[in-house]
């Protein structure tokens, strides 16, 4: 690990190097160069900086950033710079933006492997400054998306380190563009997950089981509930208020499930709707304020602390997944289901506060689930009872409802829950939870979400009043969901499992499609180190005292 003393020494060294560089400006003007040196070969200020950048890159360092690729740990970054302003998570590789530092830090398994600098000094350098000073790059790449067109000059500065200069693509009007940013990069080994390796040995029944998140009846494990875990090997269990009478019984039930799951290859997702406010399932805890109340205060640090509290609550009881935060924008005053569960009526407030709550939950190593994609805030009916219909086009959603979800994805959202909403102008046939257009084309392709997608409860009236549960489960998988949530009735769960298996055997769903979902599920379980470790008890007084202190009551 990159030690604090090392950081201090490096910062001191960097200051000295910078001082020498800045001092070189005066020296260039005053020093008499050897006779015979052509005036055109006298080093310029930019050339001096370019040389320093290359020298630092050879050591795994980037200009003005006190960390080393391949050596520094992300904890070192957090200790020195605090939490990042923005996080972008792509599979296991995570990029954190420190806008005030003009830096982005890429890390994998906690090890820093990519350091990017867009400092003002770096952005003074132009394309021809690199070509004059270093000649041809070892490799020239091109990158293009909806926002940018770039060229990347790649220099292999050592056998393990690369220096990349990233420029806007030259044009006729700007043939010599300035640097956008540099990247000092080292390869990191992406070891094959033991869980993913084990997937090759799984039967189709086991794979489909992982794609089911089931609800159970009662306050202890019934014979049917045990069968769901040990025989059907469902991937997760959701509990509701009816399952949780008091602290002692709740912990006992969770420990029972873990004991039953211990014989399986993979631990269970153990989830609950603990949003705060009126949607709070855990017993004997002081109720947290509603999101609406938090939105009125509009304090990012409070939202983070609330998320942190939610994570602590779940950890204490033995849960590992929270169906929160709500990212719906409360834009319809007649909405019967969202209301005070939303942080507010604007995308900015919902996005900022929702993401902070998500980060707080993650800080306690609990999986947050952002919901209800593509946005349940403008509905006039309750999807628990009937299917809401929203007459909006994709452009309308992009202007409002999708903003918090896109921001959450860019900040490392692990799981997105899809609601039951019919949007006829986007998909006239299926509600969002069963829509290929909304899940695969929009959520996956347009918003570039690579994590786990789960349906809202498929036993709600919005679905069961219009489809058979087996048919709905099959269409949900075809649409791109990784997990189908079936919160009520053993017969519904069994029918959904059997229908998905039949659809695979008949060729309606390919096993490759199943494998893609199971891989995402197992990677998430491994990322959060899910286990069957028992919880001995909950110090409810201490938890409640922490809540009081956080809320300032």
Q: Reply yes or no on whether 242 is catalytic.
A: no
Percent helix / strand / coil, the chain, rounded to 5: 45, 15, 40
Determine which one of 340, 365, 384, 396 is catalytic.
Answer: 384
Q: Which percentage of the chain shows pLDDT scores above 70?
A: 89
What average pLDDT does this structure show over 401-411?
95
376 catalytic? Reply is no
Lowest mean pLDDT among 74-83, 152-161, 186-195: 186-195
Residue 2 — very low, low, confident or very high, per pLDDT cuts 50/70/90? very low
Top-ranked range on mean pLDDT: pick from 1-5, 79-83, 487-491: 487-491
Instruction: Report the pLDDT averaged over residues 56-83.
Output: 91
- Please tell me what DSSP assigns to residue 267: P
Q: Give me the phi and psi of 367, to 5 degrees please.
A: -80, 120
Q: Give the CA distances from residue 544 to residues 310, 311, 332, 359, 495, in Å, rounded to whole numbers and listed in that order.
A: 12, 14, 34, 21, 42
Total domain count for the chain?
A: 2
Catalytic residue from among 456, 457, 482, 488: 456
Please, are residues 333 and 321 in contact by the beta-carbon 8 Å criterion?
Answer: no
Q: Is the pLDDT of residue 1 over 90?
A: no
For residue 193, what pLDDT is reported? 63
Is the residue at 113 inside a domain?
A: yes
* Nearest Cα residue to 314 out of 372, 251, 371, 258: 251
Average pLDDT over residues 80-105: 84
Domain boundary among 153, 186, 219: 186
The pLDDT value recorded for residue 378 is 77
Mean pLDDT, all residues of the chain: 88
- Asked, for residue 551, whether it belongs to a domain, the answer is no
> Does 386 have pLDDT greater than 60?
yes
Query: Which has more confidence, 489 or 195?
Result: 489
Distance CA 180, CA 49 (A): 15
Per-position DSSP letters for 274-331, written without gaps between them = --BTTB--STTPPPPPPHHHHHHHT-HHHHHHHHHHHHHHHHHHT--EE---B-----
Domain presence at residue 549: no
Q: pLDDT band at residue 32, thresholds of 50, 70 and 90?
A: very low
- pLDDT tens, position by position, 427-455: 999 999 999 999 999 999 999 999 999 99
Contact 237, 270 (CB under 8 A): yes
Q: Over the range 114-150, which residues count as b (16 or more CB within 10 Å of their CB) and which as e?
A: bbbbbbebbeebbbebbeebbeebeeeeeeeeeeeeb
| Owning domain of residue 120 | 4-186
What is the CATH classification number for the domain harbouring 325? Answer: 3.20.20.300
100 and 27 housed in the same domain: yes
Q: How far apart are CA 517 and CA 526, in angstroms?
A: 14
Last residue of one domain, picked from the residues 186, 209, 238: 186
Higher pLDDT, 79 or 231: 231
Q: What is the pLDDT of residue 333?
A: 76
Per-residue pLDDT averaged across 411-420, rounded?
96
Specify whether 246 is located in the same domain as 169: no
Pair 202, 163 in one domain: no
Q: What is the pLDDT of residue 31?
A: 28
Tally of CB atoms within 10 A around 286? 15
pLDDT at 79 over 90: no
60 and 168 co-located in one domain: yes
Tokens of 354: 């929702």
**pLDDT category of residue 190 using cuts at 50, 70 and 90:** low
Is the residue at 553 inside a domain? no
Instruction: Give the model's pLDDT for residue 183.
Output: 97
Instruction: Determine the pLDDT at residue 552.
Output: 85
Mean pLDDT across 104-114: 90
* Buried/exposed 48-74: b ≥16 CB within 10 Å, e otherwise: bbbebbeebbeebbbbbbbbbbebbbb
Nearest-angstrom CA–CA distance, 104 and 84 = 9
Domain boundary among 134, 155, 186: 186
Cβ neighbors of 280 (< 8 A, separation 6 or more) are 274, 287, 288
**pLDDT, tens digit, 9 for 90 and up, residues 289-339:** 999 999 999 999 999 999 999 999 999 999 999 999 999 999 887 777 788
Q: Are residues 206 and 353 in the same domain?
A: yes
> What's this model's pTM, rounded to 2 decimal places?
0.73
Evaluate whether residue 399 is within a structural domain: yes
Give the least confident one: 33-37, 112-116, 449-453, 474-478. Answer: 33-37
Residues 118 and 256 in one domain: no
Tell me what pLDDT residue 214 has. 98
Contacts by 174-178 with C-beta closer than 8 Å and gap 24+? 176/126, 176/127, 176/128, 177/126, 177/127, 178/123, 178/124, 178/125, 178/126, 178/127
Region 378-401: mean pLDDT is 86
DSSP state of 389: B
36 inside domain: yes
**Greater model confidence, 136 or 314:** 314
306, 357 contact by CB (below 8 A): yes
**Does 181 lie in the same domain as 200?**
no
Could you tell me if residue 426 is inside a domain? yes
Q: What is the pLDDT of residue 44?
A: 56
Q: What is the pLDDT, as a whole number, of residue 12? A: 45
Residue 89 has phi, psi (to 5 degrees) of -110, 120
Is the model's pLDDT at 237 over the cut of 80?
A: yes
pLDDT at residue 29 in the model: 30
Confidence of residue 491 (pLDDT cuts 50, 70, 90): very high
3-state secondary structure labels for all residues of 515-532: HHHHHHHHHHHHHCCCCC
């Amino acid at each position: 690990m990159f030690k604090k003393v090392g950081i201090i020494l490096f910062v001191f060294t960097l200051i000295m190097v910078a001082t020498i560089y800045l001092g070189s400006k005066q020296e260039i003007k005053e020093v008499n160069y050897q006779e015979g040196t052509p005036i055109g070969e006298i080093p310029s200020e930019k050339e001096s900086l370019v040389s320093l950048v290359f020298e630092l890159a050879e050591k795994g360092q980037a200009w003005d950033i006190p960390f080393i690729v391949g050596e520094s740990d992300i904890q070192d970054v957090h200790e020195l710079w605090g939490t990042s302003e923005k996080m972008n998570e792509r599979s296991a590789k995570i990029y954190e933006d420190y806008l005030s530092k003009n830096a982005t830090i890429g890390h994998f398994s906690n090890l820093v492997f990519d350091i990017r600098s867009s400092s003002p000094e770096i952005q003074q350098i132009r394309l021809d400054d690199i070509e004059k000073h270093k000649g041809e790059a070892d490799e020239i790449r091109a990158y293009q998306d909806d926002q940018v067109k770039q060229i990347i000059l790649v220099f292999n500065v050592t056998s393990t380190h690369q220096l990349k200069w990233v420029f806007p693509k030259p044009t006729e009007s700007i043939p010599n563009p300035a640097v956008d940013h540099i990247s000092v990069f080292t390869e990191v080994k992406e070891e094959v997950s033991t869980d993913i390796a084990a997937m090759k040995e799984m039967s189709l029944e086991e794979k489909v089981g992982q794609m089911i998140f089931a609800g159970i009846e009662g306050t202890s494990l019934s014979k049917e509930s045990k069968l769901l875990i040990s025989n059907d090997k469902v991937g997760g269990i959701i509990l509701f208020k009816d399952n949780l009478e008091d602290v002692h019984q709740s912990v006992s039930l969770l420990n029972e499930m873990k004991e039953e799951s211990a014989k399986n290859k993979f631990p269970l997702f153990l989830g609950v709707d603990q949003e705060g406010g009126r949607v709070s399932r855990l017993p004997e805890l002081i109720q947290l304020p509603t999101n609406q109340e938090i939105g009125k205060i509009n304090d990012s640090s409070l939202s983070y602390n609330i998320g942190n509290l939610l994570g602590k609550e779940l950890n204490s009881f033995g849960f590992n997944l929270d169906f929160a935060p709500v990212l719906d924008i409360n834009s319809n005053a007649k909405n019967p289901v969202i209301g005070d569960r939303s942080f507010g009526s604007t995308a900015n407030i919902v996005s900022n506060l929702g993401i902070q709550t998500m980060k707080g939950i993650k800080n306690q190593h609990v999986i947050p689930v952002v919901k209800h994609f593509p946005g349940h805030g403008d509905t006039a009916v309750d999807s628990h009872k009937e299917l809401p219909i929203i007459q909006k086009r994709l452009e309308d959603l992009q202007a409002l409802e999708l903003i918090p979800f896109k921001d959450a994805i860019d900040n490392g959202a692990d799981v997105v829950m899809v609601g039951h909403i019919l949007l006829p102008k986007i998909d006239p046939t299926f509600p969002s939870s069963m829509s290929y257009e909304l899940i695969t084309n929009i959520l996956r392709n347009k918003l570039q979400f690579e994590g786990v997608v789960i349906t809202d409860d498929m036993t709600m009236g919005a679905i069961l009043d219009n489809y058979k549960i087996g048919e709905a489960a099959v269409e949900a998988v075809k649409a791109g969901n990784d997990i189908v949530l079936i919160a009520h009735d053993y017969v519904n769960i069994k029918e959904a499992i059997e229908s998905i298996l039949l659809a695979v055997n008949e060729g309606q769903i390919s096993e490759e499609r199943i494998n893609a979902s199971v891989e995402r599920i197992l990677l998430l379980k491994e990322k959060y180190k899910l286990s069957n470790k028992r919880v001995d008890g909950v110090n409810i007084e201490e938890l409640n005292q922490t809540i009081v202190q956080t809320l300032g009551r």
